Amino acid sequence: MAYKIALFDSKPYDKEFFDKAAMAALFDIRYYPVRLNVETASLAKGADVVCAFVNDDLSAPVIDALIVQGVKLVAMRCAGYNNVDLKYAYGKLHVARVPAYSPYAVAEHAVSLLMTLNRKIHKAYNRTREGNFTLNGLLGFDLHGKTAGVIGTGKIGKVAAEILKGFGMEVLVSDLYPDQAWAKEKGLRYVGLEEIYANARVISLHCPLTPESRHMIDERSIAAMRDGVIIINTGRGALVDAKALIAGLKTGKIGGAGLDVYEEEDKYFFEDFSHSGIDDDVLARLLTFPNVLITAHQAFFTEEAMSAIAATTLWSARDFLEKGELANEICYLCGSSSCPRETTGKCF
C-alpha cells in the first residue's frame, strides 16, 4: 500500500514536479490548493505525511489537529520554518525541511534583483516597448570596485558572496557562526554588522528569521548605512521593517530595494490580485517606488530547485516511514536540520 501524503497550498507546478519525482510511485499524493490551517487540517485525515509550504499555518492548534488525524510527519517543502511552532511540536510530531534545494537559484535571483535595480533594466524595458529610446534616468554604477555586504553565510549566502566577488567587488560577510576557512579561501572578510552598514554600497540578506534578526533592517540600522545603499532581501520578509524602508526610500538614504519576500506576504504572494487590488497600504506604497523591485517569493523557482525539493521531500518521508530515520529533521532549539543534539546532547 502506498504511503499517503496530503500536500497543502499546491499549485500546478508542485503537482508537475512531485508526480515525476523518483520516489513518487511509493506515495499516494493528494493535492490540496487550500492552505493548511485549523479549518483545513481535517483534509489530512488518514495521511501519513503532511507536506506544507511557507504560508501554511503550523501553530500549536494545527499541530494538535494533525496529530488527531493520524499524521506522523510534517515535511516542509522549503528551507524556512518560521511558520512552525517547533517547541510545541517537539515530542509530538516530527518536522523536516529541505535545507538545500538550490542555493544557486536564490543567490542568482538576489544578484538579478541587484543588477536590474542598478542598471534600471525594468525601466528601460518598459520605455523601449513604447518606442522611447532615451537614456535619461537610467544611469547606474560599476559594481567592480564597490563594497558589498552579505549578511548570513549559509549555502545561499556563500554563493551570493562568491558571485559578487566575481564582479570584482570587495565583499564583507557577517554571520553568527563564521566559516573562517571558507572566507580565507575566497578572499572574503567577516566583520560586524556596523562595518557593513557603514561601508557597503550593496547589502544582501541571507540569514534566517529569528527573534534576534527580526527587523534587523530598521530605522536605526538604515541611519547607520551609507547614502544610496541598495538593499536586497531574498531571505525572510520580517528581516526588514517595511515602514522604515519606505522612510529611507523617501529621503533617498536608500537608493533601491530588491525584495523577493515581504513580512505580510502570506496574504498576497502566490495568488492573483490583479483584478481586486491590494489592501495592504505598506505593500501598495512600496510598489509605487521606481527604485523598488518586488518579486513574489520566486527566488527558489528554477527547474533544478523544484526537482530537488520534490526528491528531498519524498526521500525524507520514505526514510522516516520505512526506517525511522529523518536526516532533515529540524531541531526545536537551534532550528538546524543538521544539529548534533541527538548524538552529542548539545546544539551547535
In Å, the largest CA–CA distance within the chain is 66
Residue 186 near residue 163, CB atoms below 8 Å = no
Catalytic residue among 77, 97, 201, 297: 297
297 as an active site residue: the answer is yes
The number of residues in the chain equals 348
Catalytic residue among 108, 206, 263, 265: 265
**What is the enclosing helix (H) or strand (E) of 27?**
strand 27-32
CB atoms within 10 A of CB 194: 11
CB atoms within 10 A of CB 137: 10
Helix (H, G, I), strand (E, B) or coil at 277: coil
C-alpha cell, 65 = 489537529
What are the backbone angles phi and psi of residue 113, rounded to the nearest 5°?
-60, -45
DSSP letter assigned to residue 26 = G
Q: Which amino acid is at 342?
A: E
**How far is the C-alpha of 184 from the C-alpha of 280, rounded, in Å?**
44
**How far is the C-alpha of 258 from the C-alpha of 114, rounded, in Å?**
7
265 as an active site residue: the answer is yes
Helix (H, G, I), strand (E, B) or coil at 45: coil
Contacts of 293 (CB under 8 A, 6+ apart): 113, 116, 117, 122, 256, 257, 258, 259
- Strands ordered across the beta sheet of 229-233: 189-190, 170-174, 147-151, 202-205, 229-233, 254-259, 292-294
Catalytic residue among 108, 236, 263, 329: 236
Active-site residue list: 236, 265, 297
